[in-house]
Amino acid sequence: MIGIIMGSDSDLPIMQEAIDILESFDIKIEVDIVSAHRTPNKLFDYAYNAHKRGIQVIIAGAGGAAHLPGMVASMSPLPVIGVPVKSRNSIDGWDSVLSILQMPGGVPVATVALNGAKNAGILAAQIIGASDKCVLDKVITYKEGLKLKVEKASKKVRK
């Protein structure tokens, strides 16, 4: 199971892409809002206990100062994938990117592109797929579909 958390409901339109891709792979998910700044006790509980509830990977999306992914990674033994979200109070998204990307040694957060929740979902599926052949086969099929889409587009434009 993959946990998908975000700092605010305003992040949901971006994080929906992770939800959608994981649902297309038939991977069970848990989705919640966990604010690093407004609900710190909920953050601590989530980070310390996610693995006890069967979560295998955490995807954490946040905008602005974007402390959520790093704080979760500091307390959880699980892999954390950070999604920097370009929010209305961000500095063109750079504050979110750097807050998630520039983690100190010992507290890794895999970071995807700004608003890159779809890639976070795919990366989480690949992590699960390393030990679950059913998920691995779905990822392989998905990637084959990407290849076929490019080949089809190439035939259209080639002269």
The encoded tokens of residue 52 equal 């006890």
From residue 121, alpha-carbon distances to 22, 104, 118, 143 in Å are 6, 24, 5, 13
The two beta strands, 110-111 and 57-63, are: unpaired
Instruction: Give the residue-averaged pLDDT of 121-136.
Output: 98
The two beta strands, 57-63 and 29-33, are: unpaired
**Residue 144 has what pLDDT?**
98
**Residue 158 has what pLDDT?**
85
**Residue 55 has what pLDDT?**
98
Distance CA 121, CA 59 (A): 8
- Find where tokens 């919640």 sit: 32
The predicted-structure confidence for 47-102, as pLDDT tens digits, reads as follows 999 999 999 999 999 998 899 999 999 999 999 999 999 988 878 889 999 999 99
The answer on pLDDT for 159 being more than 80 is no
**Residue 87 has what pLDDT?**
86
